[in-house]
Amino acid sequence: MRKRVSAAVATGALALTGLAVPAATAAPAAEEIKLSNIKVNGGKDVLIGTGNKKFTITFDASHSANIQADPTIVGWRALNDLLPNEFGRDHCKVVSDTKSSCTATFNVNPQNYDIENSEAGSWKTEVYIVSTDYESTLDKDNIKSFKVLRAAKLTANASPEPIKKGKTLTITGALTRANWDTYKYGGYTSQPVKLQFQKKGTTTWSTVKTIKSDGRGNLKTTVKAERDGSFRYVFAGTSTTPAVNSSADAVDVR
């Protein structure tokens, strides 16, 4: 279970104690620890399939006395949803007298860590940092939100090849995504997928039509063969699954 000690609780207790102290003797506010260049997975969504997925949470921390080398950095979604830190502790390297560069490494595998399909979506980053002079503390529930998504695959195959001009071309494929409950890829059903065409010798893709994946995630549609080029399927993604394109399949029209 995810348990935190809130800085607000400690601060509140000190505030109550401070009621009995004259304002003139109140201690000055502690210097703020400042964070910058915060990135999760290099700024990209974290896509988890059925095997290992390694990613990092990085940031710079500044303070006149610098910060301790072992802050707590956690990826979390809800009370019981935590992403494991691979090394058990987080490390910050000194880059100047007042600045450190911090990196926490995570290695997630649905087969050896209890992450379920229902946990795909938006996650948060909690940090707890103390300055080297113990005068300042940073305790935040979220310094950066990020997405943890179920990795997806998309295929496309045009046939027959080669084909005579004007004949019917069939493009099949499949849209699948990682199932964190079964540790396998399964069909992503009833999802809109675009069929796109690229004329040979060009770099531009144009949408031919939009179809939906069937009850098993399969795709199938037909078009008239008119010119040489390539076909592909394109999926825009959802709140739990990333966008993905199939490989292009070239067609020789004779």
**Rg of the chain over CA atoms, in angstroms?**
26
- Which CATH number is correct for 29-149, 3.40.190.10, 3.40.710.10, 3.30.470.20, 2.60.40.10? 2.60.40.10
Distance, CA of 233 to chain centre: 23
Who's near 26: CB < 8 A, 6+ residues apart?
A: 18
Measured at the alpha carbon of residue 17, what is the angle toward residues 13 and 23, in degrees to the nearest 5?
125
Residue pair 124/77 in contact (Cβ under 8 Å)? The answer is yes
Residue 244 CB burial class (10 angstroms; 0-12, 13-18, ≥19): buried
What 3-state class would DSSP assign to 36?
Answer: strand
Which residues partner with 245 through β-bridges? 234
Identify the pLDDT of residue 120: 95
- CATH number corresponding to 151-251: 2.60.40.730
Q: Do the two domains 29-149 and 151-251 of this chain adopt the same fold?
A: yes
CA-CA distance, 212 to 233, in Å (whole number)? Answer: 11
Q: How far apart are CA 221 and CA 215, in angstroms?
A: 15
- Show me where the domains of the chain are located: 29-149, 151-251
Each residue of 175-201: pLDDT tens digit? 999 999 999 999 999 999 999 999 999
Q: For 72-76, 86-90, 114-118, 210-214, which range has the lowest pLDDT when averaged over its residues?
A: 86-90
Return d(Cα 163, Cα 181) in angstroms, integer.
43
> pLDDT tier at 1 (50, 70, 90 boundaries)?
very low
* 19-67 pLDDT tens trace: 444 555 666 788 999 999 999 999 999 999 999 999 999 999 999 999 9
* Residues paired with residue 101 on neighbouring β-strands, in sequence order: 60, 93
